[in-house]
Amino acid sequence: MKIIIASDHAGYQLKENIIKHFAGDFEWENLGTYSSESVDYPDYAHPLAEKIASGENKYGILICGTGNGIGMTANKHAGVRAALCWNVEIAALARQHNDANVLVLPARFITDEEAFNVVKTFFSTAFEGGRHQRRVEKINIH
């Protein structure tokens, strides 16, 4: 499975740790940032979200300090369902009930080990469909 990943400066180290930890499990496309030097999170969220919205990529991960700004930015794109997850239960429900296609992590509020467990759960959990499908279809404003 190919996953695109991006972060701002606050999420840089966690992004690098995730890529390294899951090197044998996923194919990665790293959209930056490439250091902990201060950057603006929309400059990384928009390119990732565009790849999801266009169908070029199916799944992504975005990381910033709280996860809020980068997730809000990504969710401006139709077809992107970015979910801020800080534990495995929320990650599972984001996939099962919301068909989330972008995992958002709060780097300043989650340990590496917690993040690894959230990533594993997010990408191993299927969308349940059924009554949830109707709700997901109502997310985008046409």
Residues 74-86 pLDDT 10s: 999 999 999 999 9
CB 87 within 8 A of CB 120: no
DSSP state of 26: -
Asked whether residue 141 carries a pLDDT value surpassing 80, the answer given is no
CB 86 within 8 A of CB 104: no
The residue assigned the tokens 């989330």 is 100
**How wide is the angle at C-alpha 93 spanned by C-alphas 87 and 96, nearest 5°?**
140
The CATH number of the structural domain formed by 2-137 is: 3.40.1400.10
pLDDT reported for residue 96: 96
Cα-Cα end-to-end distance for the chain: 30
Q: Are 115 and 64 in contact (CB under 8 A)?
A: no
Domain range list for the chain: 2-137
Q: What is the pTM of this model?
A: 0.95
pLDDT higher than 70, residue 103? yes
Q: Which tens digits make up the pLDDT trace of 13-60?
A: 999 999 999 999 999 999 999 999 999 999 999 999 999 999 999 999
Residues carrying an active site annotation: 64, 97
